């Protein structure tokens, strides 16, 4: 796909350039995109934030540790401008600077991508300033926005309404970086190009779907921010629900962004809102003594929720979303457990499971029963496995970071992996009642030790929803 023809100049403006996200994710991704030839040939990168820095100071910050060759092609196109985000005057100056670089690059049209890595509180004012003073006069203008998209249905609607009055829906790219992960992108291909999954993908064969995100670290200095949102808003309501939508949605009529997002909205509308009884929440020991955390905080750092999809395909199948910090391991995966009914010939057989491992060590594996090799007639649990790092050459298996993938999609104008306004709305509709109940103290978080598997009540909920833990003898060999 064309990433901008030769006669179009492209500028990406990173608002919040001095922040963590910019440093850890956005600049490295831009750099690799350049390195791999995915940036338009006429490009410039403009950092913008309140701090005063020269271009050189800024480059030193974002261009260190790079190989020589690319330093010479990527870094010189990096610029820095300082100003207030919500000041129309400052933003007008920014625009003038951009225009200067655009003039240098030449080209018939100049396209501008504003990456909004700014705090949620100044999000809308910043967008307003951009709208007033920094739109591209000749090419497209797109904005990338990062969660949090509000705190609940009401605040989200307010934000989207305001944003919608400033930019058209197709100019807005709401990023959910989980959608950029290799194995998440693989989901549609896996589901819709493999006939063998078709008759299985429904309540007659699937017993439960568990979508897990586990971190082995705590809030790591972000405790103040985190405490304001909690794990459900930070991970579950967006990342995990987006993955669930991709797992559960019906076949779209085409692979276009809009058709896929129509299906995601459709399936999420069939999910009844959660209440506090559908969730187990936890908080790791020591969280309350972290800086900026109120001593009486009830913010969950761990949560397991059980959702249902009230349609023909999924009637009665629990979807378990679970996520937590400071746990025993770092892992994200989708685990689809099949029913084990009618195994009268082999009563000891364990249910099949299809596991899509998102990170680390991306893989798909299908747990099966097999004959124990040799003289024995016993069953043994094993798996049909596709671990990317084992199967593909090193070059192939070196997967791009999700941000890299997504920024490229913005440049290409592909909305498939971004969250549409109505998706956001339906996601908040599901979670808001439960979040409010939690905040009203209807359910207190259960303490759990750092480095543990979280409170046992989480496991309990899975078992009550039919999840069968398989024998402790089994271990995926590539874990």
Structure tokens at 137: 């006069």
Minimal distance, residue 339 CB to a copy of itself, in Å: 6
Angle at CA of residue 307, ends 305 and 313, nearest 5°: 150
User: What is the distance between the alpha carbons of residues 216 and 305, in angstroms, rounded to a whole number?
Assistant: 20
Phi, psi of 18 (to 5 degrees): -90, 5
Binding mask 101-130 for a copy of itself (x = CB under 8 A): ------------------------------
Minimal distance, residue 252 CB to a copy of itself, in Å: 7
User: What is the distance between the alpha carbons of residues 335 and 320, in angstroms, rounded to a whole number?
Assistant: 10
Maximal C-alpha separation, the chain: 81
Structure tokens at 139: 């090419």
Task: Tell me whether residue 185 or residue 359 sits nearer to a copy of itself (CB atom).
Answer: 185
**Which of 53-61, 86-94, 112-120, 342-350 is the region at the interface with a copy of itself (rule: CB under 8 A)?**
342-350
Minimal distance, residue 206 CB to a copy of itself, in Å: 10
Q: Which residues, numbered 365-384, are part of the site for a copy of itself (CB under 8 A)?
A: 365-366, 368-375, 377, 379, 382-384
Q: Which of 328, 477, 410 is nearest to 113 (CA)?
A: 410
Task: Identify the residue among 96, 132, 192, 463 touching a copy of itself (CB under 8 A).
Answer: 192
Q: Which residues, numbered 265-294, are part of the site for a copy of itself (CB under 8 A)?
A: 266-267, 269-270
Task: Identify the residue among 152, 216, 258, 385 touching a copy of itself (CB under 8 A).
Answer: 385
Taking CB under 8 A as the rule, does residue 222 contact a copy of itself?
Answer: no
Task: Tell me whether residue 184 or residue 438 sits nearer to a copy of itself (CB atom).
Answer: 184
Q: Which residues, numbered 26-65, are part of the site for a copy of itself (CB under 8 A)?
A: 36, 38
Other C-beta atoms within 10 Å of 100: how many? 12
For residue 239, indicate whether it is catalytic. yes
**Which of 85-93, 159-167, 235-243, 401-409 is the region at the interface with a copy of itself (rule: CB under 8 A)?**
401-409
**Which of 70-78, 218-226, 393-401, 437-445 is the region at the interface with a copy of itself (rule: CB under 8 A)?**
393-401
Other C-beta atoms within 10 Å of 24: how many? 12
**Which of 87-95, 96-104, 188-196, 323-331 is the region at the interface with a copy of itself (rule: CB under 8 A)?**
188-196
Task: Identify the residue among 88, 288, 397, 446 touching a copy of itself (CB under 8 A).
Answer: 397
With contacts defined by CB under 8 A, how many residues of the chain interact with a copy of itself? Answer: 79
Taking CB under 8 A as the rule, does residue 196 contact a copy of itself?
Answer: yes
* Helices 257-269 and 241-248: angle between axes, nearest 10 degrees: 100
Minimal distance, residue 350 CB to a copy of itself, in Å: 9
User: What is the distance between the alpha carbons of residues 238 and 233, in angstroms, rounded to a whole number?
Assistant: 7
**Residue spans of alpha helices (H) in 304-455:** 388-391, 394-397, 402-412, 421-439
User: What is the distance between the alpha carbons of residues 423 and 264, in angstroms, rounded to a whole number?
Assistant: 7
Q: Which residues, numbered 240-269, are part of the site for a copy of itself (CB under 8 A)?
A: 250-255, 262, 266-267, 269
Taking CB under 8 A as the rule, does residue 470 contact a copy of itself?
Answer: no
**Which of 9-17, 72-80, 297-305, 394-402 is the region at the interface with a copy of itself (rule: CB under 8 A)?**
394-402
DSSP per residue over 24-62, as a string? IIIHHHHHHHHHTT-S-SSEEEEEEESS---HHHHHHHH
Minimal distance, residue 418 CB to a copy of itself, in Å: 15
Task: Identify the residue among 108, 330, 391, 442 touching a copy of itself (CB under 8 A).
Answer: 391
Taking CB under 8 A as the rule, does residue 186 contact a copy of itself?
Answer: yes
Task: Tell me whether residue 289 or residue 472 sits nearer to a copy of itself (CB atom).
Answer: 472
Binding mask 309-338 for a copy of itself (x = CB under 8 A): -xxxx-xx---------------------x
| Dihedral, CA of residue 318, residue 274, residue 188 and residue 356, to nearest 10 | -50
Task: Tell me whether residue 95 or residue 352 sits nearer to a copy of itself (CB atom).
Answer: 352
Taking CB under 8 A as the rule, does residue 182 contact a copy of itself?
Answer: yes
Q: What is the DSSP letter of 327?
A: B
At which residue do the structure tokens 């063998």 appear?
Answer: 196
Could you say which of 239, 377, 415, 436 is catalytic? Answer: 239
C-alpha atoms less than 13 angstroms from C-alpha of 88 in its C-beta half-sphere = 5
DSSP per residue over 119-139, as a string? -GGGHHHHHHHHHHH---SSS
Structure tokens at 468: 């069968």
**How far is residue 341 from each of residues 70, 248, 421, measured CA to CA in Å?**
58, 22, 41
User: What is the distance between the alpha carbons of residues 473 and 479, in angstroms, rounded to a whole number?
Assistant: 14
Minimal distance, residue 411 CB to a copy of itself, in Å: 12
Minimal distance, residue 255 CB to a copy of itself, in Å: 6
Task: Tell me whether residue 196 or residue 296 sits nearer to a copy of itself (CB atom).
Answer: 196
Binding mask 197-216 for a copy of itself (x = CB under 8 A): -xxx--xxx-----------
Other C-beta atoms within 10 Å of 278: how many? 18
Q: Which residues, numbered 402-421, are part of the site for a copy of itself (CB under 8 A)?
A: 404-405, 408
Structure tokens at 252: 């779209």
Structure tokens at 233: 């808003």
Structure tokens at 472: 């402790």
Residues annotated catalytic, as ranges: 239
């Amino acid at each position: 796909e064309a990433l901008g023809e030769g006669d179009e100049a492209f500028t990406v403006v990173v608002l919040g350039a001095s922040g963590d996200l910019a440093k850890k994710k956005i600049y490295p991704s831009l750099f690799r995109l350049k390195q791999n030839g995915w940036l338009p040939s006429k490009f410039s990168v403009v950092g913008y934030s309140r701090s005063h820095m020269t271009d050189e100071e800024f480059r030193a910050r974002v261009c260190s540790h790079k190989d020589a060759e690319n330093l010479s092609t990527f870094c010189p196109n990096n610029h820095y401008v300082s100003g207030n985000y919500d000041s129309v005057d400052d933003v007008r100056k920014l625009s003038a600077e951009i225009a200067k670089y655009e003039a240098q690059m030449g080209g018939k049209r100049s396209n501008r991508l504003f990456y909004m890595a700014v705090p949620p509180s100044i999000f809308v004012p910043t967008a307003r300033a951009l709208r007033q003073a920094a739109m591209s006069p000749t090419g497209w203008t797109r904005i990338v926005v990062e969660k949090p998209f509000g705190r609940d249905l009401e605040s989200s609607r307010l934000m989207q309404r305001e944003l919608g009055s400033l930019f058209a829906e197709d100019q807005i790219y709401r990023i959910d970086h989980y959608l950029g992960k290799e194995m998440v992108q693989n989901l549609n291909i896996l589901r819709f190009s493999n006939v063998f999954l078709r008759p299985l993908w429904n309540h007659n064969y699937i017993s439960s779907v568990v979508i897990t995100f586990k971190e082995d670290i705590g809030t790591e200095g972000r405790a103040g921010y985190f405490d304001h949102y909690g794990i459900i808003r930070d991970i579950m309501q967006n990342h995990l629900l987006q993955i669930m939508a991709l797992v559960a949605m019906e076949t779209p009529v085409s692979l276009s962004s809009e058709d896929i997002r129509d299906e995601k909205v459709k399936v999420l509308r069939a999910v009844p809102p959660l209440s506090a009884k559908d969730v187990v929440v936890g908080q790791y020991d020591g969280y309350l003594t972290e800086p900026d955390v109120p001593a009486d905080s009830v913010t969950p750092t761990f949560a397991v929720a059980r959702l249902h999809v009230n349609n023909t395909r999924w009637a009665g199948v629990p979807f378990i979303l679970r996520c937590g910090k400071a746990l025993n391991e770092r892992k994200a995966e989708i685990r689809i457990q099949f029913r084990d009914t009618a195994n009268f010939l082999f009563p000891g057989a364990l249910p099949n499971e299809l596991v899509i491992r998102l990170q680390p060590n991306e893989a798909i594996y299908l747990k099966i029963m097999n004959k124990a090799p040799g003289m024995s007639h016993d069953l043994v649990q094993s798996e049909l496995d596709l671990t990317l790092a084992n199967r593909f050459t090193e070059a192939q298996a070196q997967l791009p970071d999700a941000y890299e993938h997504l920024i490229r999609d913005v440049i290409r104008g592909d909305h498939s992996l971004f969250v549409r306004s109505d998706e956001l709305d339906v996601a908040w509709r599901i979670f808001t009642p439960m979040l409010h109940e939690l905040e009203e103290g209807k359910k207190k978080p259960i303490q759990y030790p750092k480095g543990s598997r979280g409170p046992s009540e989480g496991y309990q909920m899975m078992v009550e929803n039919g999840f069968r833990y398989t024998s402790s003898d089994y271990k995926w060999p590539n874990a």
